[in-house]
Amino acid sequence: MKRIGSLLLVLVLAMSMMSFTTAGAEGEKIVVWTLANDLKQFAEQYNTQVGAEVVEIVVFDSADYQTKVMQTLRTGSTDVDIFVGEPQMLPNFFEAGFAADLSELDAEVSERLVGYTYEVGKDTEGTLRAVSYQATPGSVIYRRDLAIEAFGTDDPAVIGEKFASFGAIVETAAALKEKDYSIFGDTGALRWFSTSSSPWVKDGAIIVDQDRLDYFDAAVELYQKEYVAFAPEWSAAWYASMAGPLPVNAGWSALEEIDASNPSTEIFAYVMPSWGALIVRDNANENKGKFGVCSGVCSFFGGGTFLAVNEFSEKKETAIDFLKFCTLNDDTAQWWLEASNGDVVANKAVLKANEAYQNESFGNQNTYGFYLDELEAIDYSMVTGYDDVCKDAFGAAVVSVQEGRQSKNDALKEFYTVVTAQYPELSMPADAPIE
């Protein structure tokens, strides 16, 4: 990605130091609990600007984090002043009363940050309780060189049409198979598009509409016709595929050197939120610069870091000041966009200002402009509190049919059984697609 000149960056940081307010920051220290190291860099910037070690960052392993927060704050602890949460965690934190009311920031967050992030940060009553410095729009990340060989073009608009529906995806996969390419690592890539036309739950009913049936059928066909590489997300083979060929059906086993006498394949595309583009970039090796991003069946988001102030904190003024520095300061957003070398910030004005920047890792594509368009297309009304359970149960149903363990009808029956067992308030509608 073409970087801002060093002089401009110095000026940006200087302006930040002049415009930044440090109300309440003198003479006290706040503690921030987080899942990743990003906020260490934010704290360093903040501490430098206020001239004191005001912010201490404590990073936890993701497997233990939510439990640690819940157990600690149930006691009314003041040992932490800010804690972060991913979108799926926030409702539990809000319901427990751990996140302070941030209504004083509501108007500014609503106006300046990406719309869906504002919605994610509100509780069921509409009170703002968490704010994010980043946005995580989704995309299809594809190999430009393979696209030219298979389709004669690497134009994101053209390739996007080949992922515009589940039927189109199957047709695209068949064409790629003829070139010995695999469309995805495995069929799990389709799950990101599972909320394409309807929410999972509406008026207490579990919705399996035609789009979800198309998703189901596409996943089974991709698997049974061996249009995917059978290299699941996060496996060694999946990471290695970003840099070159891999053995067919590598699975979860450790990836060994490819034997030219054995069949191999190359993965054409990956479906992930914007942070996935950083994973691809960092694992591409000699393939760096050979990728592009395009739209898929629907716009989506996934993950993201949201900051909440501990309701029991005795240092709320300083905590809110640091939260504002991370999320609502234009200069901070510009700095992070550069410092992260590719993260998508939630600040709309900064994204707009950077929409023409060319990303060298993605064929000099204007990726920020692309992601800005995708963010505007996200329909947050499709999101419900039941989504994770529905997606997991539906995915399990798909796998059982892929592997020949169940019929489609029996798998869908089990899907409804699993979801209603966990959420008895939900029902299977009379027009459910089962016999």
Q: Whole-prediction pTM value? A: 0.90
Confidence category of residue 15, pLDDT binned at 50, 70, 90:
very low
Residues 329-349, mean pLDDT to the nearest whole number? 96
Asked if residue 277 and residue 131 are part of one domain, the reply reads no
Are 207 and 252 found together in one domain?
yes
Please state, rounded to an integer, the average pLDDT across all residues of the chain. 92
Tell whether 293 and 329 lie within a shared domain: no
Same-domain status, 106 and 142: no
Domain identity same for 230 and 288: yes
Which range of residues forms the domain containing residue 39?
A: 6-136+302-354
Query: Is residue 400, in this structure, part of any structural domain at all?
Result: yes
For residue 39, tell me if it sits in a domain. yes
Give me the percent of the chain exceeding a pLDDT of 90. Answer: 86
Residue 255 binned pLDDT confidence (cut-offs 50, 70, 90): low
Same domain for 391 and 250 = yes
- Comparing 12 with 296, which gets the higher pLDDT? 296
Domain membership of residue 165 (yes or no) is: yes
Percent pLDDT > 70 in the chain is 91
pLDDT band at 5 (very low <50, low <70, confident <90, very high): very low
69 and 214 belong to one structural domain = no
Mean pLDDT of 154-177: 98
Same domain, 212 and 339: no
For residue 258, the model assigns a pLDDT of 54
pLDDT of residue 336: 97
Please check whether residues 96 and 185 belong to one and the same domain: no
Same domain, 64 and 115: yes
pLDDT greater than 70 at residue 152 = yes
Match 């200002």 to its residue by tokens. 353
254: left (phi over 0), alpha (psi -120 to 50) or beta: beta
**376 lies in some domain:** no
Task: With cut-offs at 50, 70 and 90, classify the pLDDT of residue 27.
Answer: low
Same domain, 159 and 251: yes
Q: Is residue 369 part of a domain?
A: no
Q: How many domains does the chain have?
A: 2
Question: Is 360 contained in some domain?
Answer: no
Span 386-406, average pLDDT: 96
The reply to whether 114 and 147 lie within a common domain is no
Chain position carrying tokens 């234009």: 330
Q: How far is CA 220 from CA 202, 269, 325, in A?
A: 26, 18, 47
Asked whether the predicted pLDDT for residue 141 surpasses 60, the reply is: yes
Q: What is the pLDDT of residue 274?
A: 96
State yes or no: pLDDT of 338 exceeds 80.
yes
- The answer to the question of residue 366 being in a domain is no
Residue 20's domain is classified under what CATH number?
Answer: 3.40.190.10
363 occurs within a structural domain? no
